[in-house]
Each structure stands twice: as structure tokens, then as C-alpha cells.
Amino acid sequence: MRIIPLLLLALFVGCNTLTKKSADLVVTGATIINPESEKDVVGDIVITDGKIIEVGPGASGNYEATKTIEAGGKFVIPGLADMHSHFGNMIIPGDADDSKLVLARHLYFGNTTILNLGSHKAWIGAIDGMRDALKKGKLQGPRLLATGSLITMPGSHPVSTIYSPELQKKIAEVISNHGGDGPIDLAPLRGTTLVRNADELSKEVARVGKWGADAVKITVESGPDEFGDDHPQMSPEMIAASADEAKKFEIPVLCHISSLDELEACLKNGATGVVHAVTSEKPLPEDLELRMIKAGFVVIPTAAMFDGWKRYAADESLLEQVALKPVLSDQEKKIFGSERMRDQFKSDESWDKALVILGKHLKKFHEAGGTIVAGTDTGNPYRFAGFALHEEIAFYVKSGIAPRDALATATTNAAKLVGQEDEWGLIKTGLAADLLILDKNPLDNIENTLLISAVIKAGKEVDRKSLPMR
């Protein structure tokens, strides 16, 4: 008489097991921090085919996972995005390719998305090759967004400022051989295009737009000041032309600027935002932030770059930070710690004042409702790929922006800038499973973003120790 009940029990257990769905990866028991939410939850994240399929308390109960990461007591944030990055680091030989190293370092520090803004090793063909290698697993790195080219004017930045004399000579030959009208594509010397008027700028924006650029970068400035303020500056008509053409492809136009007049020109002529904040020892106009917000203007400040030059030049021991030990080579530490480099980037009273004004400007802009997007200008001295983004976010907090809002600059705000908020940037069902698992709460101390337990990119845990970072 007991056989039937036992059979029914066995049938029930068997059916219950069969109802469990399969998953590639589950992260269990972590505090889940979404920058756009004021309420964090302890729960699970279920991942299949590189996407989050369920998230919340007990979410993993209905799944049999190939791999489980038990994250009790840990904290999960969305993977970070550096929206102003380059290859090269100002110390490698001019034609050397450090893209593999740069991509690996970004990923090591939890940057699961980067926006490359052109120049070194970043022309369209090079970017296509890297993306293909990333897709096939032959290269390890973040989601690679790109402009396809940095657009500037002949004789302006960076061509006549930071490019080497040897490279400038080669570029002069390209210009001489070009002849006639039309944009001058410098590939493969650099992912840079020279334009001389509004018509040429429109054509170049159309070219990169048809290719699939995620953004357009135009160099508006006549400086930077340390190179003299006497280089050709893009006219308002050129800025407006780039903005008009970019609208056809629904991509943002980002202006490289360094002074207030350049920012005003971009603000008044339809650009989406700037890829550097203004650094000035003079007070900024009282109404500037509100005018920027009214225009929907975005700021990628690269504030920690300006601050970092001062800090690293003043304190050589910063090159020995624990987080940098697996990354920096002896050669890098020797060069960046040299007396020549430290003397070149040392601060002075006016620079210190400019940094204070910058911090106040960003806080005021943010509190009034402005959009800040994190970017580092990696490729510059002391901007170590991946690590620099953590310093950038920390600068915002130091300036008075709440840690949660600072995290948003490198997650949700970044995704919205390029119209990809439905693809990545949050820990949400249907979005990419790009995650950063931390040992301590970044909302308690923003520097805890460096206490990385695991990096998950496209649903797979990254073997951080195997990344080619030197």
C-alpha cells in the first residue's frame, strides 16, 4: 500500500528537478549596487549567453548553473566604462603597438567598455582588426567603442604639438601629396584626419558615421596653452557642420577643448559635449553650468589627469601603489619617476587654483542636473590604462559628488552618451553581463572600487592573472 505514495513522491521530486532551467553562470548572495537606484538588494544574478536573465533575491533558485560564484558579503557594480581612451603612453617608440597591453589593463581593472577617441593605432582598419580579434577570443579586452578617427586641422593639436618631429615630417609629405580638396586621412600613420573647412568636416563625419562610429571627436582648441595658443582653431561653422552631419547617424559630437572660449563655441554650435573640462585659474561665468544643462551638454572632464600630473610629479611613491604592482613595468616606473618627467609636470600656485575651480565647477554642474561622463585620456603620462578610471571617479567624490552618482558617470551615464543604455551599464535583466565584484562597499569608500574580487565580461569571469599587462 505504500508503493503508490513513494512513486508519487519520486515523480514529484523528478519533475521538480526537471523544471530547473539552465544557466551559464550565477553570482549568489552579493549586495547588488545599481547607480540609478537608491535601494541596494542582497541577491543573485543569473547569466546566460553573455546576458543577465534574472536578478534579485533568490533568483538562482530556479536554475542549474555551469558555474557559481558565491559572493556573500561582497558587492557587485556594473562593469565600468572609460569614455576617453587612447593607445600609446607617450614613452613608447612612435610606431610601437601597445594596444594589446592597454586593452588587457583596462579589463584587469574592471573597465568592460572603452571609447577610443582616435590617433595612435586607432584608424578604422585597426579598430576593425581589434574587434574581430576580441570577438574570436584572440585578444582580451573590453567592449571597444571608437570614433574611427580624430578630426583636427592642419597645424593644430595633436599634429603640431605632441606628435614627434619625425611623424610631423611624414604627415607633411602626406599633405603635400594629397593635393586638391577633401579630408586628409593620415591612416596608417595615425587614426587622425585633417580638415580645413566645414565642407571637409561634414564629409569626414559622414565617412566615419557610415562606418559605424560610436562618436565623433573634433579638436577645436588652438592650444593647449603649454604648446602656445597660436594653432588653427575650428570655426563655429565647422563645429555646427559636424553637429548637423552627426545627427544623421545619431552619434554624439565631442569637442577637444582647453579654454573657456572654445567651450562656449562648442556649446553654442550644437556639439554634444567636451572631452576635457576647462582648467582655469580665473573664475568661470556664474551662469555657465545652467547654460550647459539647458543645452543638454555633457562633460567628460578627465579631471584626474590634470590632478594626476601634479600628484605623481610631487610623490614618486605613487608609482608603487599596491594596485599598480601587477601592472607597471620597471621601465615605466623608471621613466615616470625620473626627474625630467617630474619637473615637467610639477604643479604651481596657478595650477593648484585651477584644480580647485575645476572641482567646484563639476560639483555645481552635477548638483544642478548636469551629466558628467567619466573618461581618463589614457595615453597621457601617468594615466595608466584601467587604473586611471578609478582615480577619475575618486576625484568626483573628492569634489563633493556622492559615490553612487560618481559610479553612474562610468556606467549609466556612459551608456546613455552613445545611446546604448538598453545594452549595458546597469545590472538589469536583458543587459550585458558586465560586472565588477568587490570585496568592500564602494559607497562607503569610493577607493573600494579597486578591491576587485572578480571581473565578469560578457558573462564570463576574466582570468585577471593571465592578462598580458606588461
Checking if the pLDDT of 11 tops 60, the result is: no
CA–CA separation, 85 vs 108, rounded Å? 15
Average pLDDT over all residues of the chain: 93
CA–CA separation, 222 vs 217, rounded Å? 15
- Predicted pLDDT at 65: 96
Q: Domain residue spans in the chain?
A: 1-78+426-462, 79-425
Count of Cβ atoms closer than 10 Å to residue 131 Cβ: 16
Whole-structure pTM value: 0.94
- Predicted pLDDT at 90: 64
Kindly report which listed range (80-84, 190-194, 223-227, 445-449) carries the lowest average pLDDT score: 223-227
Is residue 62 helix, strand or coil? helix
What are the cell numbers at 270?
Answer: 550644437
- Predicted pLDDT at 12: 47
273: amino acid identity, one letter: G
Q: Mind listing the pLDDT tens digit for each residue in 133-148?
A: 999 999 999 999 999 9
230: amino acid identity, one letter: D
- Predicted pLDDT at 4: 47
Q: Are 244 and 270 in contact (CB under 8 A)?
A: yes
Q: Is 256 buried (19+), middle (13-18) or exposed (0-12) by CB count in 10 A? A: buried
Checking if the pLDDT of 91 tops 70, the result is: no
CATH class name, domain 79-425:
alpha beta
The number of CA neighbours under 13 Å toward the Cβ of 355 is: 19
Checking if the pLDDT of 421 tops 70, the result is: yes
**Residues in a beta bridge with 48:** 51
What is the architecture of the domain spanning 1-78+426-462? Roll (2.30)
Q: What percent of the chain has pLDDT over 70?
A: 94
Q: Mind listing the pLDDT tens digit for each residue in 159-169?
A: 988 888 999 99
Is residue 16 helix, strand or coil? helix
DSSP string, 160-208: TTTS-HHHHHHHHHHHHHH-SSS-EE-TTT-BEEE--SHHHHHHHHHHH
Checking if the pLDDT of 7 tops 80, the result is: no
Q: What is the DSSP letter of 259?
A: S
- Predicted pLDDT at 308: 94
Count Cβ neighbours within 10 Å for each residue of 270-302 and write b for 16 or more, e otherwise.
bbbbbbbbbbbeeebeeebbeebeeeebbbbbb
Q: Are 459 and 24 in contact (CB under 8 A)?
A: yes
Give the model's confidence band at 439: pLDDT under 50 very low, under 70 low, under 90 confident, else very high.
very high
